[in-house]
Copies of this chain bind each other. A is one copy, B any other.
Amino acid sequence: MKISILKNELNEAIQHVSKAISSRTTIPILTGIKLEVTHQGVTLTASDTDISIQSFIPAENDSEVVVHIDQPGSVVLPAKFFVEIIKKLPSKEIMMEVKDGFQTFISSGSAEIQMVGLDPEEFPVLPDIEGNETITIQGDLLKNMIRQTAFSISTQETTPILTGILWHLENGEFKFTATDRHRLATRAANLDGTEEIRFSNIVIAGKTLNELSKIIPDQNMLVDIVVADNQVLFKLDRVLFYTRILDGIYPDTSRIIPSTYKTELIVDTKKLSEAIDRAYLLSREEKTNIVRLQTLEQGGIEISSSSTELGKVREELEVIDFKGEPLRISFNSKYMLDVLKVIDSEQLLIAFTGMMSPIILQPQDDSRSKYVILPYRTTN
């Protein structure tokens, strides 16, 4: 293998695949990035067995030569050192040559680097799952669906299935669900052309989907998703992102969400968020995060929190609309703020069926998102 390649392009591809490198792996070959050179370009691959990422650098881009290929070939290079040294090379062009025993010579400007490479034959082969069912989604929509649900996953490894986001596709509706048993986030969207496809109990680690989000470019482009038996493949422009499906059955969450409400409020998202944030500051010092919401006789609501050591925070807030019974309820303000942060709508519905029943939050301009928070059972 012998090439010269533009630093920026190589660097960008490295940044993409390096998200799949685990620093804790015990398998030496997986501490490396695999480079494969053909006459079409360079393919980089990294894997931690749960996630595998592949990024392709074409030899030419808009008729500019990106990679000059003297000799195809392949090698596996130590990821951590490779990632950092490439970023810091002095010239915009980099020469790479693999010699006997995978010794790799890299030069750029006055810098000369010799790297101990590994045999690419030892690197795991990625699964071929192209033949499976494929759906297509806008990159922005996928990123939003992840952002608006991933915060509700469980971080406890004792229930691994809850560290994932549940995917359900039926009658053209694609739905994400995440819960840690104290709160629940759901977000659905219609996907054109998927009316004939159905899948359920596809659960993908929330952490993995957050990593994927970082790779999806900001320009709104299409992402193809291939769903196989135990793997999902995301196909972006020049990046392939493989991840495994979590084992186990996701719990049925449909009965958690109440279907009728006793109290319904429409409020300004930003104003509610800021008032709860102030009460949260006090509740955090008490290490309980308990904040109280109560409807007022003269209209409006009161947000409050108190601490025997520090004092009290209290605030009245107008409501845009009020339906139903008066109410007083306590909840984890951190959970509430997490929801308010991902609601992009200016107004939201907050609904209750009683002081011991789940609190529902829903953006006013999007009935396909629904958030549930369990209240605290307090004595006053």
Contacts and interface: CB of A to CB of B under 8 A. Distances in A.
B277 A315 contact: no
Contact of A281 (B84, B114, B282): B84
Contacts of A113: 278, 282, 311-314
Contacts of A274: 88, 90
B114 A81 contact: no
B316 A110 contact: yes
Nearest to A103: B311
Interface in A324-342: none
The interface centre, meaning the residue of A111, A274, A314 with most chain B CB atoms within 10 A of its CB, is A111
B317 A115 contact: no
A41 interface: no
A115 B310 contact: yes
A80 interface: yes
Nearest to A104: B311
Contact of A285 (B80, B103, B282, B315): B80
Instruction: Give the contact-size bracket for chain A.
Output: 20 to 34
Contacts of A317: 110
A309 interface: yes
A267 to B, nearest CB: 13
A85 B85 CA distance: 44
A359 B314 CA distance: 63
Interface string A81-124: 10011001110000000000001100000111111100000000
Contacts of A285: 78, 80-81
Copy tally for this chain in the complex stands at 2
Nearest to A82: B310
Interface in A264-284: 274-275, 277-278, 281-282
A312 B281 contact: no
A111 B275 contact: yes
A285 to B, nearest CB: 6
Interface string A63-80: 000000000000000101
Nearest to A85: B281
A95 to B, nearest CB: 14
The interface centre, meaning the residue of A115, A275, A311, A317 with most chain B CB atoms within 10 A of its CB, is A311
Contacts of A282: 81, 85, 113
A315 B312 CA distance: 64
A112 B81 contact: no
Contact of A114 (B78, B85, B88, B312): B312
A281 B80 CA distance: 9
Nearest to A306: B114
A317 B309 CA distance: 64
18 contacts: A78-B285, A81-B285, A85-B278, A88-B277, A88-B278, A88-B281, A110-B275, A110-B315, A111-B278, A111-B313, A111-B314, A112-B312, A112-B314, A112-B315, A113-B282, A113-B311, A113-B314, A115-B311
Interface of A: 78, 80-81, 84-85, 88-90, 103-104, 110-116, 274-275, 277-278, 281-282, 285, 309-317
